[in-house]
Each structure stands twice: as C-alpha cells, then as structure tokens.
C-alpha cells in the first residue's frame, strides 16, 4: 500500500475516532457520577446537530450575510446551551428518579428516550424524515499530496475536538467543580458529608456531558455536511462500546476506546479489500475479544468490591 | 374486608368469571377496528382495573387465581383455546396470537437468564434468529420432522451462545451488557452482508409437513374453512405450556434456589459451595436454547425471515417485555407480551406516529412503575400463601 | 325502588337510541356502499419521504373519487406502514389480505418488501398493484395472477442508463450498492449492460442501508480513479455518499437509480446535487395530460410532504384499481380477472398495458439530471444543449 493512501486512511480514522471519543466521554462522565448508562446519549448528539441547524435557519433569517466564523460561533453556542439545558432537565425528571431502580431499568428507559427523540425529530422537525444539508461554515481549502487530500476543515475540527477534551480534563482535575464531580463519583455519601450538593453536581455533570455531545453533533454536521434523524443510533452504540472497552468512569479510557474503535473499523475496511462491508462485524468481534481478555476495560476502574 | 375466609368455591367461580372477562376483552380488542372504539376499550380497561383495585376486587381475583394454581393455568389455556375457536378463520388474529405465544416463550428464556441468574442478555433476538435461520436452512430438507427442526434450532442457538460464555463469565454488570450488545449488532450486520443466508433480503422458510400434511394449507372441517394458522397456534400453545411448566419447575426446585442465590450475592453463594460458573453457564445456555426453539417455530409460521426481524431493537423489545411484566414473574411476562404485541398493531392506523407513541408509553411506564405490572413476589413455599 | 328501575330503563333506551343513531347516521346520509382499498408503503424509516408521498397520492385518488357524484361506491382508504423491512411487510400484507372487506391494494416502494409479500397476496387472492418496487422478480419471478405493476423494472432502467453513459464517452465505472436484493440486482443488471456496451466495471462495493461513514470505501475508490460512480440504492445513503465524495475530493460523475430521484436528495445536498444523473420509468409527469391535474389537486389538498417521483404511479395505480372496482364490483376475483384481461388504460403516467405477468410493458425511461436544484428532464437540460457539461 502506498503512503498517500495510508495517510488518507489515517486521517479518516482520526476524525472518526475524535467523534467517537467525544461521545464516549459523555457515557463515562455519567457513569462516573451515578453509576448508570445513559443510552440516549447518541441521540442527544443528533439533537445537538439539529439544534445547530435550527439556529442556522433562524440566524440566516435575521442576518442573511453574517460571516462564516461568527455564525459558526453562534450556532455552536445555541446548540450547546439548548442541549446542556436538555441534559439537566433529563437528569432531573428522569435519571434521578430512576436511581432506586435496577440499572437495567435506567438502560432501557434511556434507550426508549433515544427512540422518542429520534422519532420526535423525524416527525416534528420540518422535513425531518429526510437527510438535511448542514451549512458549510468552514473554509473549503484542501491540500493534495498525490492521492491524499488533507482538508483544512478537518484539521480545524480535529484541533477543536482535542482542545475540548483537554479543557474538560483540566476542568475535572484542576478546578473545585471538578473535585466535587470526582468526589461524587468516588463516594456519594462521603461527598455529601463533606458538603457537596449532590443533586447540583449531578445536574452540572449532565449539562457538561450533553454539551460535549452537542459539540460532537455540530462537528458531525460540519464534517459530513449532512445530518439525519437516525445518525445517533449507531453513534450511541459505538460510544457506549468505546467507553466500556476503555474502562468506564475514566476519561482517558473513553478517548482510547473511541480511537481504538475507529481504528478497528478502518483496519477492517483496509485489511479485507474484498469484503469491506464486514468491517463492523470485525470491529464488534474484536470488542468481544477485548472484553474476554480485559473484563473491566483496558484501563480498569480503580475500585475494590466491598464484601 | 375478610382476607382469609374466601372459600375455595367462590375462589373457583371468581377465577372462571375472570377468565370469561379476559376472553371477552381480548375478543373485543381484536375485533374493534375504529380508533375511537379502541381508545374507548383501552381506557375502559384501565379504568376498570383502577376502580376494581380501589375496591379490593383485584386482590380477590389475584388471590383466587393464586389459590388454585393448576386451575388458573388450565383456565389460561382455555382462554387461548376459546380465542382460537372464536377467530377460527381470521388469519391475522391467529397470527398475532402465535406471535404473542412465541414471544412469551422467548421472554421466558430470557427470564431464566436475567430473572433468576441475573445475566443480562441484549442479544435475545439474535438467538431467536439463530433458531429461525436454522429452520430456514432445514426446511429445504423435507424429511426432517418439524419437532426435530425446532430442537435443532434450539441446540444451535445454545451452541452459538456458548461462544459468548467466556467473556460473559469474566465480565459483570455493564461490561457484560456490552458483550451481548456487541454480539447483537455484529449478528445483524453479519446477516445483512452475508449472501449465503439471503443477505439483507432475507430467506423463505418452508412450511412444516407432517406425514404428507402441509401446515401451509387451509383446513376444512365440515362446512367450516379453518385457517391454516390454527395448527400453528396450537403448536405454539403447546410449546408455551411445556416451556412454562419447565421454567416453573426450575424456579421451584433447588436449581432455582441456586440461581437466585447466584444473582443476589455471588460471594456468599460461593461460600455456601454453590458453583457460580456452572449455574451461570446452565442459565445462559437454557435461555438461549429456549429462544432458539421459539425462533425456529416463529420462522416456520412467518414463512419468511430477514435480518430486520432480529435486530438490536428486537432484543430491546424482548427485554422491555420482561421489564414491563416484572422481572422473574412468569404470568407478568405473558401479559406484558400480549400488550406489547397487540398495542402497536392496533396503533397501525395512526401510521407514522406509532413508534413515537409506543416508546413514550414504555418510557413513562418505566419511570412511574419501575417494578413492572406484576412484580415477582418473594418466595412462598406453599402456593397462595401470602408473603 | 320502582322509580329507580324506571330511571334505569329510560337511561338504557336513551343510550340505545343514541348509539343507534351514531352508528346508523352515516349510513342514512350516504346510501352508497362502503368499499375498502389499501395502500402499503414505507411511512417510517429512512425512505419514509417516498412512502408518505405515495400514500398521499393514493389517498388523493380516493378523495377525488369520493367527491365524484357518479361513483358507485364510497371508498375507505386504509394506509399501512411496511417500514421498508421485509418482515414487517409480510405482517402488514397478511393483515390486509386477510381482511375480507379490502378489495384491492396499491403496495410497496421497496423491492425487498414486495418480493417477500407477493406470495401472501397470491395465497389470499388479493389483487395488488405495485407502485414503486422495481425488481424484475416482483412480477417475473412468479406466475401469480394477483400481482400487477404500473412502473417499469430495473432492467429497462439500467439498459437505458448503460447505453446513455457509454454513448456519452464514459468507460470506467465503480458500483456502490446496498445489500438488499434491490441494490444487488441493480449492480447485476447495470454491470451486464455496461459490459455489453463496451464499458468496464472496475470494482463494486456493498454497503448496508444504515451505514453513516463511507470514507473507507471512498478512499479506495479514489485510488481506483473511476469516471463514474454508480449508486444502486435509496436516497438517504445516496446523499451521504455524494457528500462524502466531495469531502475526499473525488471528482467522478455521480449516477443514481430510480431510488435516488427524490426531492429529498436535492434538499439533502443543496448545491452539491448539481449534475447528478438518475433514470426512472414512465414519461415525465408534466408532459402528460393528467399530470397538471394531479399536481394541482395535490397542492390543493395541502399535504405537507411532496408527492416525490413515485407519487404519480401510486395515484395512477389507485385510480386503475378504483376504475376496475367501479366497473366489475367490489369483488377480489372479478377485479383480478378484469385486470388480467388484455386492455390498455390511459393514466397520468401514460398508457398502462399489462403483459401476462401483470407487468406494465409501456416502459418509457426518462433520464433526469439535477440542474439548479431541480430534477430536469435530460433533453430539456442545459447539459444536453451543451451549455453545461457533466464531469469527465
């Protein structure tokens, strides 16, 4: 295989990995504070993308000749704020209510919520059952090296994603809020005793996780220039897989898992030239093998079972 | 109100009356077509349940049913038979009945896994599908008797499931959920892209033949044209009865005790000398076998299967039935199956809003009644004894 | 006590009278018999835009007929959702076919569903006119008297497509197809006709219908450097592929099948859709006498979704079914018999003439190209006149 093709596959894989990682981070954050899986997270990404699109319609309606960068900034803000608010409402009305029930209930309830979101967008967003074009808001510049095309917008998106992850990391490890989140994640009761407002921290965590998902949605829209109501389904399943193979409750695990899964898919497509359709079979097969090898994920949770 | 003076005769009468009411209700639901009337019947039913539980009627009914278990089981069979007789020539209703009976069987299998041993299985539909595809392949060979097809379907499902045993035994909680979830997704994609089993298009499944009699033909008894689905419904009913009896026996035996103990506390179970690995393997394999068994019969009835029948969404549906009915409660399972199968069917007329309304209802149900319709009771060692 | 009983009796009578009047009133008001006709198409899922367009069009035919005072019956329209999934299709087909009050149906956009459902219609003797599915086997794969189809098959479509492409100087093709029978058959027929016409298929890729990311496949395709990328599949996947082609800088001509020609395709891509080709059976709507009428009626009812490219077929199929019922009475066997008799019908999609398999033989294939955000008939486009040119 020649080098330019390899470079192209690597870039594709990295972009995919960044998106998966951003989704997986949400899964792992929620698991951290409440020990639950919020399966609707993939569809929240979709809602984020559609919120941004609504923002685009609205803004271009008022200021038709707004500059690309300004619009990008504003629609990202609209999407992130709406979805973060949605995340808090979801946590307050549903997730916290379900805490006393079994984890399976939460899993199923959130899966159903995902379906409700998907169907709601399909039915009630104007023309929602069709794929929607997402506005081009990044300069259309690319550099070609033989068969390898490096697009400027991909680079920007990748850098933005990386920045987001780094700042999330700093937030969790360096700030007081982050300390509170970690305290709740480690031991709810002790955290309460130390004066941490548990409900507030949970709500904030959901706002943060959903905001990251909204960003992933906008990124998805800008990268593919097309969004549709069904895009969250597989994204959710993959984000969940990535969070788990990385090791739940660990942000690095989620990032590792995201890139690993993207790598597996790309590898599957490259390594089996005659049967690239099998790439998902390959990726999920390897996921099962990893689980057999490392039963608590690649970066294991630091917990000891209390007997 | 007196709680312990209900004599057995009034209990029996009460049970019969209740069975009559259920038959009438099911008949009404199947017959009614207009949306307004359906809504009326459904609201009426819910209202009746609410009012009757206010006045303690529900508890009397449940008590008289619980008092004489053999009778209530026999009554349930009678209700089904009555429905078959009422709808002897209505293909569609009979087909829905088959679906209810066979989905119940599958969920009973999942019940052994999740309800007793505590093993969550997100690929129930995949094992159901393995049974179905086995039936599709075997139906090309006419010499194989139907009963053998079903059993082979179950065995193959159990064998396929054994691939997952190692990761499942090593993992727990959400990690083990991922193993079955990944398998469910993998299975669907694999069927989609693999041409030898029909690909995304799906395959035909030949109908059963027994002593030269084709299950696919209509039957004429006297002057009545009986739908070809009737034998299938009867076969499904027999399968449900057998599996129900089997699962009940497991639950009430020392095996059930071992499984409960493994689910509730692994550490103390192993302290008592219970082999956790063995019981998990037993529960997982039996559950998959049962799912494969019903899948094989379902595919033969449908006459046509495709990967879309066995997607991750269908696995979710099986689990949501289990949850709605109340995990570990066999009757709850069957009632929930009836609701989950019939409700979206009756919603078919509202067309594109169907899935939206259905998932909203399930969501509300989980949030506001997390234990399900009929939660499993703590073990009672004599039937009818209140815990 | 007596008064109480009297009260009950009066209430009972009142309720009975009210119920009776509610049930009977519509019958008194309308002396015509009620006849049920059904429509099946994908109303949910990825291709629901086409399904809903077809549903609306078929419903429109029923509405127009019910407003016609000369009609002998009042028609009740039953719309059903097959979700574009074969298994759901089989269930819905059973439901429709076993409902004895339904006299006929207009069914199926997705070939995968149609193929699995036809034998059920045959078993129950329900006359069905297919309005969108293009796989040849829907009519030619069986000898069922009950199955008819107003639209052409993909054989005609691909023959025209292959001739057109090769005559325009294209030689190197790459095929992407979805893995249903629809996609696979498109790949098969297109390859066959391309080779016959002197072109070359370099490579083909199967993709699943819910795949989102195609960069891996497209990177390989870029390396192969074809002149044309042919896509055998439906709109949602087509939109994703075309948009990601652009991302990877692939400068090949994009060509779709009848499953691609929908307004949703243009809406989903915006300017990127410019120059995409598609081939579809039937003469163009606006050139036919009834076409204008259909379009204006459709807008008049105020449906919020477009009729899409197969809407007119659904309308024509339903109209044909209603005509036959008017003539022969609401009886399945009579309708099947009448439709099997050799005859030619006029419709908004042109002449309809069924062969012995129930296939409409009038197979005019129209070529379309996207120009300024519209599907324009090739002959009328600026591409044909040389003002603009396709990609080389």
Which residue in this structure is represented by tokens 């796989």? C135
Q: Does A104 touch chain B (CB under 8 A)?
A: yes
CATH assignment of the domain containing C183 = 3.40.50.2300
B203-206: long-range pairs with CB below 8 Å, 24+: B203/B133, B203/B136, B203/B304, B203/B305, B203/B306, B204/B136, B204/B303, B204/B304, B205/B132, B205/B135, B205/B136, B205/B139, B205/B299, B205/B300, B205/B302, B205/B303, B205/B304, B205/B305, B206/B139, B206/B140, B206/B142, B206/B300, B206/B303
Record: contact B193-A277, CB cut-off 8 A: yes
Are C373 and C271 members of one domain? Answer: yes
C332: containing domain: 33-152+285-361
Are C65 and C92 members of one domain? Answer: yes
Q: Which of A12, A130, A276 sits opposite C268 (nearest CB)?
A: A130
Q: Name the range with the highest mean pLDDT among B41-45, B350-354, C162-166.
A: C162-166
pLDDT(A307) > 80? no
Instruction: Determine the average pLDDT of the residues in A131-140.
Output: 82
Record: contact B183-A288, CB cut-off 8 A: yes
Which chains have at least 3 CB atom pairs separated by less than 8 Å from chain C?
Answer: A, B
- C220 within domain boundaries: yes
C270 interaction partners in chain A (CB closer than 8 Å) = 133
For chain B, counts of helices (H) and of strands (E): 16, 6
Instruction: Determine the average pLDDT of the residues in A20-35.
Output: 89
A127 interaction partners in chain C (CB closer than 8 Å) = 49, 264, 267, 305
DSSP code string of A37-87 = --TTHHHHHHHHHHHHHHHHHHHHHH-TT--HHHHHHHHHHHHHHHHHHHH
| pLDDT tens for chain C, residues 1 to 392 | 445 455 555 554 554 544 444 444 444 445 678 899 999 998 877 678 888 889 999 999 999 999 988 888 999 998 888 888 877 888 889 889 888 889 999 999 988 889 888 988 998 889 999 998 888 888 888 888 899 998 888 888 898 899 999 998 899 999 998 877 788 889 989 999 999 998 899 988 888 877 888 888 888 888 888 999 999 988 888 998 998 898 888 889 999 988 888 888 888 888 888 889 998 877 777 777 677 888 888 888 888 788 877 888 899 999 999 999 998 888 899 999 988 887 788 888 778 888 888 888 766 788 899 998 888 888 888 888 888 888 76
Strand C128-130 relative to strand C102-107: parallel, antiparallel, unpaired? Answer: parallel
Record: contact A307-B267, CB cut-off 8 A: yes
Record: contact A133-C48, CB cut-off 8 A: no
Are C160 and C112 members of one domain? Answer: no
A151 interaction partners in chain C (CB closer than 8 Å) = 247, 249
Q: At what angle do helices B229-252 and B69-86 cross, to 10 degrees?
A: 170
Are C174 and C205 members of one domain? Answer: yes
Q: Which residue on chain A is closest to C223 by alpha carbon?
A: A147
- C24 within domain boundaries: no
Q: Which of A130, A270, A277 sits opposite C267 (nearest CB)?
A: A130
CB pairs under 8 A between A and B: 119
Record: contact B323-A297, CB cut-off 8 A: no
Looking at residue C9, its pLDDT comes to: 52
Note the pLDDT tens digit of each residue in B154-177: 999 999 999 999 999 888 878 888
Record: contact B167-A248, CB cut-off 8 A: no
Record: contact C179-B199, CB cut-off 8 A: yes
B302 interaction partners in chain C (CB closer than 8 Å) = 87, 90
Percentage with pLDDT > 90 across chain B: 27
Mean pLDDT lowest for which of A9-23, A105-119, A194-208, A291-305?
A: A291-305
Q: Does B49 touch chain C (CB under 8 A)?
A: no
> How many domains does chain C divide into?
2
Classified as helix, coil or strand, A128 is coil
- Every domain of chain A and the residues it spans: 17-230
Record: contact C86-B92, CB cut-off 8 A: no
Q: How many residues does chain B have?
A: 387
Distance of residue A9 Cα from the nearest chain C Cα, in angstroms: 7
Q: pTM of the full predicted structure?
A: 0.84
Mean pLDDT lowest for which of A105-114, B238-247, C99-108, C362-371?
A: C362-371
- Every domain of chain B and the residues it spans: 8-86, 105-368
pLDDT(B2) > 50? no
Are C46 and C69 members of one domain? Answer: yes
- C17 within domain boundaries: no
- For residue A211 the two structure tokens come to 């905001």
Looking at residue C363, its pLDDT comes to: 63
Are C169 and C205 members of one domain? Answer: yes
Question: What's C37-50 look like in SS3?
Answer: EEEEECCCCCCHHH
Looking at residue C345, its pLDDT comes to: 83
Record: contact C112-B90, CB cut-off 8 A: no
B20-27: long-range pairs with CB below 8 Å, 24+: B22/B79, B23/B79, B23/B82, B23/B83, B23/B86, B26/B79, B26/B83, B26/B338, B27/B83, B27/B86
Q: Which residue on chain C is closest to A118 by alpha carbon?
A: C45
How far, in whole angstroms, is CA A104 from its chain's centroid? Answer: 22
| Between B115 and C46, the higher pLDDT residue | B115
Q: Specify burial of residue A64 (Cβ count, 10 A radius: 0-12, 13-18, 19+).
A: exposed
A240 interaction partners in chain B (CB closer than 8 Å) = 178, 181
Classified as helix, coil or strand, C202 is strand
| Between C14 and A143, the higher pLDDT residue | A143
CB pairs under 8 A between A and C: 97
Record: contact A275-B193, CB cut-off 8 A: yes
Compute the distance between CA of residue B201 and CA of residue C178 in angstroms, rounded to an integer. 10
Compute the distance between CA of residue B30 and CA of residue B52 in angstroms, rounded to an integer. 23
Compute the distance between CA of residue A50 and CA of residue A69 in angstroms, rounded to an integer. 19
Are C87 and C235 members of one domain? Answer: no
Classified as helix, coil or strand, C174 is strand
Record: contact B367-A109, CB cut-off 8 A: yes
Compute the distance between CA of residue B102 and CA of residue B290 in angstroms, rounded to an integer. 10
Looking at residue B123, its pLDDT comes to: 92
Strand A142-145 relative to strand C345-347: parallel, antiparallel, unpaired? Answer: unpaired
- For residue A51 the two structure tokens come to 């919120």
pLDDT band at B383 (very low <50, low <70, confident <90, very high): low
Looking at residue C190, its pLDDT comes to: 93
Record: contact B178-A105, CB cut-off 8 A: no
Whether A29 and A262 have beta carbons less than 8 Å apart is answered as no
- Candidates A79, A118, A84, A94; CA nearest to A235 is A118
Whether A291 and A243 have beta carbons less than 8 Å apart is answered as no
Q: Which residue on chain C is closest to A6 by alpha carbon?
A: C219
B166 interaction partners in chain A (CB closer than 8 Å) = 292
- C160 within domain boundaries: yes
Which residues, in sequence order, are bridge partners of residue C341?
none
Q: Which of A9, A144, A223 sits opposite C219 (nearest CB)?
A: A9
Q: What are the residue ranges of helices labelled H in C144-277?
A: 154-167, 181-196, 215-224, 235-247, 263-269
Looking at residue B351, its pLDDT comes to: 57
Record: contact C248-A266, CB cut-off 8 A: no
Residues of B with CB under 8 A from a CB of A: 114, 120, 164, 166-167, 170-179, 181-183, 185-186, 189-190, 192-193, 267, 312, 316, 319-320, 323, 327, 352-353, 355-356, 359-360, 362-363, 366-367, 370-371
Question: What's B140-174 look like in SS3?
Answer: CCCCCCHHHHHHHHHHHHHHHHHHCHHHHHHCCHH
Q: Which of C43, C87, C92 sits opposite B306 (nearest CB)?
A: C87
Note the pLDDT tens digit of each residue in A235-273: 998 999 999 998 887 888 999 999 999 999 888 877 775
Q: Specify burial of residue A67 (Cβ count, 10 A radius: 0-12, 13-18, 19+).
A: exposed
Record: contact C243-A16, CB cut-off 8 A: no
DSSP C180: S
Record: contact A291-B360, CB cut-off 8 A: no
Instruction: Determine the average pLDDT of the residues in B16-37.
Output: 80
Looking at residue B5, its pLDDT comes to: 42
Record: contact C240-A144, CB cut-off 8 A: no
């Amino acid at each position: 295989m020649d080098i330019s093709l390899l470079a192209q596959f690597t870039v594709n894989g990295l972009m995919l990995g960044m998106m998966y990682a951003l989704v997986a981070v949400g899964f792992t954050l929620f698991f951290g504070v409440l020990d639950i899986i919020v399966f609707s997270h993939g569809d929240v990404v979709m809602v984020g993308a559609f919120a941004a699109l609504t923002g685009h319609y609205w803004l271009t309606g008022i200021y038709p000749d707004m500059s690309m960068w300004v619009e990008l900034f504003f629609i990202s803000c609209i999407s992130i704020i709406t979805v973060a608010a949605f995340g808090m409402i979801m946590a307050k009305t549903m997730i916290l209510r379900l805490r006393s029930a079994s984890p399976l209930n939460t899993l199923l309830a959130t899966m159903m919520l995902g379906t409700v979101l998907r169907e709601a967008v399909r039915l009630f967003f104007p023309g929602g059952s069709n794929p929607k074009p997402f506005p081009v808001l990044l300069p259309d510049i690319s550099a070609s090296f033989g068969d390898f095309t490096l697009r400027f917008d991909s680079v920007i998106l990748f850098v933005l994603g990386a920045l987001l992850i780094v700042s999330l990391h700093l937030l969790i490890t360096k700030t007081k809020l982050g300390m509170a989140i970690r305290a709740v994640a480690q031991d709810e009761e002790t955290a309460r005793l130390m004066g941490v407002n548990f409900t507030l921290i949970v709500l904030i965590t959901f706002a943060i996780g959903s905001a990251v998902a909204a960003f992933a949605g906008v990124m998805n829209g800008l990268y593919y220039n097309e969004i549709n109501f069904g895009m969250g389904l597989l994204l959710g399943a993959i984000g969940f897989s990535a969070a788990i193979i990385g090791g739940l409750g660990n942000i690095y695990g989620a990032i590792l898992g995201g890139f690993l899964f993207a790598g597996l898919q790309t590898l599957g497509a490259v390594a089996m030239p005659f049967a690239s359709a099998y790439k998902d079979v390959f990726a999920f097969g390897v996921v099962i093998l990893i689980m057999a090898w490392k039963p608590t994920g690649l970066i294991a949770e630091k917990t000891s079972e209390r007997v | 109100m007196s709680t312990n003076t209900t004599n057995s005769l009034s209990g029996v009468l009460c049970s019969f009356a209740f069975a009559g009411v259920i038959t009438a209700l099911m008949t009404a639901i199947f017959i009614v077509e207009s949306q307004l009337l359906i809504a009326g019947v459904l609201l009426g039913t819910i209202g009746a349940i609410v009012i009757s539980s206010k006045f303690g009627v529900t508890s009397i009914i449940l008590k008289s049913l619980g008092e004489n278990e053999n009778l209530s089981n026999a009554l349930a069979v009678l209700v089904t038979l009555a429905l078959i007789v009422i709808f002897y020539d209505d293909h569609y209703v009979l087909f829905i009945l088959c679906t209810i009976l066979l989905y119940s069987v599958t969920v009973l299998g999942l019940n052994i896994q999740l309800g007793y041993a505590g093993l969550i299985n997100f690929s129930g539909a995949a094992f159901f599908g393995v049974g179905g595809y086995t039936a599709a392949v075997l139906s090309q060979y006419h010499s194989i008797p139907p009963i053998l097809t079903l059993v082979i379907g179950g065995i193959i499902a159990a064998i396929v499931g054994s691939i997952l045993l190692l990761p499942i035994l090593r993992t727990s909680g959400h990690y083990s959920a991922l193993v079955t979830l990944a398998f469910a997704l993998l299975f669907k994609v694999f069927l989609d892209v693999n041409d030898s089993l029909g690909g995304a298009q799906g395959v035909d499944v030949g109908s059963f033949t027994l002593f030269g009699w084709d299950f696919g033909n209509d039957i004429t008894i006297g002057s009545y044209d009986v739908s070809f689905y009737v034998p299938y419904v009867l076969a499904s009913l027999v399968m449900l009865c057998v599996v129900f009896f089997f699962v009940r026996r497991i639950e009430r035996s020392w095996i059930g005790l071992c499984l409960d103990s493994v689910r509730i506390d692994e550490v103390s179970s192993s302290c008592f000398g219970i082999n956790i690995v063995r019981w998990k393997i037993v529960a997982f394999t039996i559950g998959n076998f049962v799912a494969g068994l019903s899948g094989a019969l379902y595919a033969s009835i449908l006459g046509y299967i495709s990967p879309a029948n066995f997607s991750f969404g269908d696995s979710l549906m099986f689990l949501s039935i289990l949850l709605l009915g109340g995990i570990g409660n066999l009757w709850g399972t069957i009632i929930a199956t009836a609701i989950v199968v019939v409700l979206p069917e009756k919603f078919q007329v509202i067309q594109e809003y169907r899935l939206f309304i259905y998932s909203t209802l399930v969501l509300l149900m989980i949030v506001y009644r997390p234990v399900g319709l009929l939660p499993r009771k703590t073990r009672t060692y004599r039937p009818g004894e209140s815990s | 006590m007596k008064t109480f009983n009297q009260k009950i009796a009066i209430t009972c009578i009142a309720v009975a009278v009210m119920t009776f009047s509610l049930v009977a009133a519509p019958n008194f008001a309308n002396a015509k018999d009620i006849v049920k006709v059904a429509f099946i198409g994908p109303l949910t899922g990825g291709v629901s835009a086409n399904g809903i367009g077809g549903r609306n069009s078929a419903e429109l035919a029923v509405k127009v007929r019910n407003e016609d005072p000369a009609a002998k019956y009042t028609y009740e329209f039953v719309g059903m959702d097959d979700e574009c999934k074969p298994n759901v299709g089989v269930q819905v087909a059973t439901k429709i076919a076993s409902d004895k009050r339904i006299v006929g149906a207009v069914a199926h956009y997705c070939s995968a569903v149609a193929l699995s459902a036809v034998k059920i219609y045959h078993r129950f003797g329900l006359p069905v006119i297919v309005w969108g599915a293009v796989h040849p086997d829907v009519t030619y794969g069986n000898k069922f008297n009950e199955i008819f189809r107003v639209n052409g098959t993909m054989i005609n479509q691909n023959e025209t497509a292959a001739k057109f492409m090769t005559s325009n100087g294209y030689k190197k093709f790459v095929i992407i197809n979805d893995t249903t029978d629809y996609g696979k058959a498109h790949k098969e027929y297109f390859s066959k006709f391309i080779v016959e016409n002197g072109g070359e298929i370099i490579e083909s890729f199967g993709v699943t219908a819910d795949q989102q990311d195609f960069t891996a496949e497209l990177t390989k395709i870029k390396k192969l450097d074809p002149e044309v990328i042919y896509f055998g599949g439906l709109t949602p996947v087509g939109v994703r592929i075309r948009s990601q082609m652009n991302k990877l800088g692939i400068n090949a001509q994009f060509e779709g099948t009848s499953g691609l020609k929908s307004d949703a395709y243009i809406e989903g891509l915006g300017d990127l859709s410019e120059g995409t080709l598609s081939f579809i059976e039937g003469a163009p709507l606006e050139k036919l006498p009834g076409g204008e009428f259909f379009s204006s009626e459709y807008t008049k009812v105020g449906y919020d979704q477009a009729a899409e490219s197969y809407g007119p077929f659904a309308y024509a199929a339903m109209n044909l079914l209603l005509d036959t019922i008017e003539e022969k009475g609401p009886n399945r066997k009579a309708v099947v018999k009448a439709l099997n008799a050799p005859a030619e019908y006029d419709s908004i999609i042109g002449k309809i003439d069924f062969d012995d398999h129930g296939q409409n033989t009038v197979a005019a294939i129209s070529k379309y190209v996207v120009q300024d955000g519209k599907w324009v008939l090739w002959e009328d486009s600026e591409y044909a006149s040389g003002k603009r040119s396709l990609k080389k």
